[in-house]
Amino acid sequence: MTGRNVESLKKCGAECVGKQKPLILVADVTKQEDNVRVIEETIKKFGKLDVLVNNAGRGVFGSIETTSLDQLDDMLNTNLRGAYHLTILAVPHLIKSKGNIVNVSSITRLKPFPNSLAYCISKAALDQFTRVIALKLAPKQVRVNSVNPAVIATDFQNREGMSPAQYAAFVKHSEKTHALGRIGQPREVAEAIAFLATDSASFITGTCLSVDGGRTIMGPI
């Protein structure tokens, strides 16, 4: 388990129950040396790698008129390049274990949001990355899939600049844009990831699974 915020990592780690506690590593996916260390420390502790979940991500609000090249680069570095590099490092170990990869993408790879341009681009690229490497690694029995969440009850929007009032209005509006009439919960996405990562999904690869409460089947509202 890795991330930039040590307190968040500790909190998440404490919620993990089981015979073995997770390995917690403070790291930044935009730093190559951190990615190398994450894989090396994981192999050192567990002796192998069964699953890679590329979950690091961030967003930025902005359209073609307001999004700078620097903002686009920042988005791609975190949402795409980090996953790309970790995958390069993980693949030799996953081939040995016949493991799998789950990338955390977004419905924005399908639904265009004009004021989230850089984010949409990064997630569309991540899902194409998923499909391409799934095809390449399938003969070696390594499965690769992604999940595409819609609006989920996290602090994602707040961290990217929404005020509490704006977020409340956003959630209220989202209840109308999701067919199930509500936003999703983190556990619902986690369970989809867990499904894809286990042998229950042993015949699934190259799939981008919508976990969206019916958002993608709704009209453009």
| Residue 107 CA: distances (Å) to CA of 115, 154, 179, 200 | 15, 16, 14, 23
User: Hey, is 209 helix, strand or coil?
Assistant: strand
Separation between Cα atoms, residue 185 and residue 165, nearest integer Å? 20
Q: Which of 188, 166, 177, 31 is nearest to 113 (CA)?
A: 177
According to DSSP, residue 23 is labeled P
Q: 90: closest CA among 36, 126, 44, 127? A: 36
Question: Which of the residues 76, 85, 103, 119 is marked catalytic?
Answer: 119
* 119 a catalytic residue: yes
Active-site annotation, residues: 119
